[in-house]
Amino acid sequence: MGIRKLGHYSIRTGDLEASRRFYTEVLGMKEGFRPPFRFPGIWLYLGGDEGDFGVVHIIGIDRDDPQALKDYLGDKEEAALTGSGAVDHVAFLATDLAGMRARLAARGAPFTERTVPSLGLYQLFVADPSGVTVELNYPHDEAHALGLA
């Protein structure tokens, strides 16, 4: 099996600063490196997890320019972003990119692929039967070997 462990969970929010304060001041997480995405957000770390890209990703909504977020993760109505509706996706660190692409294709499961800017991390996004987005993160060298990156 290629999935190694849970990577992070992501939350979309209309109030990035309130989320920042909660996760850093209340829960004690540390804000850290975040790739240069074209939409606002923060990545939060527990300490010692820098190599795993953080444990919580907060995705901010830029009301003046929401298109970059829509292009990258798709559109969600801000009014629906409460409770578990605010959970944008669940991410796993994984291996065997070729095998997963083959399994998804064999089942006719639509998926999207992209590379995280400045990290070289290769991602597959697929929806589960309930519509929850599952992000699978693969090492750059696997994608490169397949001519994808």
The pLDDT value recorded for residue 67 is 87
Residues pairing with 1 in the sheet: none
Task: Label residue 63 by pLDDT band (50, 70, 90).
Answer: confident
The pLDDT value recorded for residue 33 is 92
* DSSP strand pairing (87-94 vs 56-60): unpaired
Decide: pTM greater than 0.85. Answer: no
For 98, the 3-state DSSP assignment is: helix
Mean pLDDT confidence for 70-84: 73
Q: Which residues contact 30 (CB under 8 A, 6 or more apart)?
A: 24, 44, 45, 46, 47
Mean pLDDT confidence for 57-64: 86
Pairwise CA distance, residues 92 & 47, whole Å: 18
Task: Label residue 83 by pLDDT band (50, 70, 90).
Answer: low
Task: Label residue 119 by pLDDT band (50, 70, 90).
Answer: confident
Q: What is the b/e burial string over 4-25, where b = at least 16 CB atoms within 10 angstroms of the residue's CB? A: eeebbebbbbeebeebbeebee
Pairwise CA distance, residues 50 & 35, whole Å: 13
- Total Cβ atoms within 10 A of residue 102: 11
Pairwise CA distance, residues 105 & 85, whole Å: 28
Mean pLDDT confidence for 39-65: 84
Task: Label residue 123 by pLDDT band (50, 70, 90).
Answer: very high
Pairwise CA distance, residues 61 & 121, whole Å: 23
Mean pLDDT confidence for 31-53: 86
